[in-house]
Structure 1
Amino acid sequence: MAEFGEFSPAVIDFWMRGVAPSARPHRVHVVVDPTLSEARSASVLSVTDGPQILAVSPDRAHDMGLAHGDEHEPDHIASALERAGVTLNDPDDIFHFSVAEARALVAETPRHGVRALTLDDRVAFDHFIDAAPDDDVDEAFVELEHWLVFGRFLDDSLVSAASMYPWDDSMLADTGVLTLPDHRGRGYAAATVRALSAEALRRGYEPQYRCQVENLASVAVARSARLSLFGTWKVVLPAD
Structure 2
Amino acid sequence: MSLFSPMITDFWQATFLSGEVLCRNGKFTLAVNPGLSEDRRLMVLETADGSVMAVMTPALADRLGLHRQSGLSEPLLRGTLREAGIVLHGADYIFYFSEAAKRALGQETPAGVVRRLTAEDEAAFAGFQSSASEQDLDDAYVELDHWAVFGSLEQGRLVCAASMYPWQNARVADLGVLTLLPFRAQGHARKVVRAISRHACEQGYEPQYRCQLDNQASAALAEAAGLSLFGKWEVISPDAGE
How high is the TM-score relative to the length of structure 1?
0.91
CA distance in 1, matches of 2:123, 2:102: 32
Superposition pairs of residues 223-238 of structure 1, within 5 angstroms:
223-238=223-238
Per the alignment, residue 88 of structure 1 pairs with 88
Distance 1:75 1:234, change over 3 A: same
Per the alignment, residue 184 of structure 2 pairs with 184
Per the alignment, residue 154 of structure 1 pairs with 154
CA distance in 2, matches of 1:207, 1:6: 15
| 1:65-115, Cα deviation, whole Å (9 max, x unpaired) | 335xx8732221112222443210111100000011112212222212111
Superposition pairs of residues 18-167 of structure 1, within 5 angstroms:
18=17, 27-66=27-66, 72-167=72-167
SS in 2 for 1:102: helix
CA distance in 1, matches of 2:108, 2:62: 49
> Which amino acid counterpart does residue 167 of structure 2 have in structure 1?
W
> Which amino acid counterpart does residue 12 of structure 1 have in structure 2?
T
CA distance in 2, matches of 1:24, 1:99: 30
Per the alignment, residue 5 of structure 2 pairs with 8
> Which amino acid counterpart does residue 127 of structure 1 have in structure 2?
G
> Which amino acid counterpart does residue 168 of structure 1 have in structure 2?
Q
Asked if the contact 2:94–2:233 (Cα under 8 Å) also holds between the matched residues in 1, the reply is: yes
Q: Identity over aligned residues, as a percent?
A: 45
CA distance in 1, matches of 2:31, 2:167: 20
SS in 2 for 1:62: helix
How high is the TM-score relative to the length of structure 2?
0.90
Distance 1:53 1:71, change over 3 A: farther
Distance 1:66 1:13, change over 3 A: farther
- Deviating runs (4+, > 3 A) in structure 1? none
Q: Which runs of 5+ in 1 are unaligned?
A: none
| 1:172-204, Cα deviation, whole Å (9 max, x unpaired) | 110100000000011110110110000001101
CA distance in 2, matches of 1:57, 1:186: 46
| 1:129-158, Cα deviation, whole Å (9 max, x unpaired) | 000111000110000000010000000000
CA distance in 1, matches of 2:124, 2:90: 34
| 1:11-56, Cα deviation, whole Å (9 max, x unpaired) | 101222328xxx876x431122222211111111111123111121
> Which amino acid counterpart does residue 158 of structure 1 have in structure 2?
L
Asked if the contact 1:96–1:209 (Cα under 8 Å) also holds between the matched residues in 2, the reply is: yes
CA distance in 1, matches of 2:85, 2:129: 39
CA distance in 2, matches of 1:24, 1:157: 54
Asked if the contact 1:174–1:209 (Cα under 8 Å) also holds between the matched residues in 2, the reply is: yes
Asked if the contact 2:25–2:71 (Cα under 8 Å) also holds between the matched residues in 1, the reply is: no
CA distance in 2, matches of 1:185, 1:71: 48
